[in-house]
Amino acid sequence: MQRLVVGLTGASGAVYGVRLLQRARALGVHTHLVATPAGVLNVHHELGLDRRALEALADEAHAPGDVGACIASGSHPVDAMLIAPCSMKTLAAVAHGFGDNLLTRAADVMLKERRRLLLLVRETPFNLAHLRNMMSVTEMGGIVFPPLPAFYNHPGSIDEMVDDTVERVLALAGITSAQPRAWQGL
């Protein structure tokens, strides 16, 4: 069974993290969830879900302060980690190895173990610090994946745009059963 860590921060775009958890479950992927307090607040604001409902979407949920959780160690088998949405604060912490909570510690573990780490950064416009932090994470082996919609498949709704992004992210994370829609040409 494939295993994912999904992190949710306070950036706008909570739907990406929730849909990743839902789709991972549908694909039989085991998930660990770490949602920051701002992430839970944002999930409630944008989607109307409380912490209990959010945590019910994951196989295992961990508190951000639980730095002794299994995902804080490279010895725990995890295939990839997705932070969706990823705030600029979390991006900065990852870029500088500031593992002050379970979310940023787990991201640091992914980088040190050379495992896939994808950050769905949500902020525009980018300032120079944001860009440098993205470059730093990329140089360390992480993947910066702003959830920008693709229009070539002619999505008919926001849900379709979100689902398309989620499927692409799961495929990039190495989830073999993910099924992103491929470009067929003109």
Pick out the residues of the known binding site for FMN. 10-12, 36, 87-90, 122
Annotated binding site: 10-12, 36, 87-90, 122, 152, 168
Residues 178 and 186: their CA atoms lie apart, in Å, by: 24
Radius of gyration of the chain (CA): 15
CB 148 within 8 A of CB 172: no
**Tokens standing for 38?**
């701002």
SS3 sequence, the chain?
CCEEEEEECCCCCHHHHHHHHHHHHHCCCEEEEEECHHHHHHHHHHHCCCHHHHHCCCCEEECCCCCCCHHHCCCCCCCEEEEEEECHHHHHHHHCCCCCCHHHHHHHHHHHCCCEEEEEECCCCCCHHHHHHHHHHHHCCCEECCCCCCCCCCCCCHHHHHHHHHHHHHHHCCCCCCCCCCCCCC
Annotated binding site for dimethylallyl phosphate: 152, 168
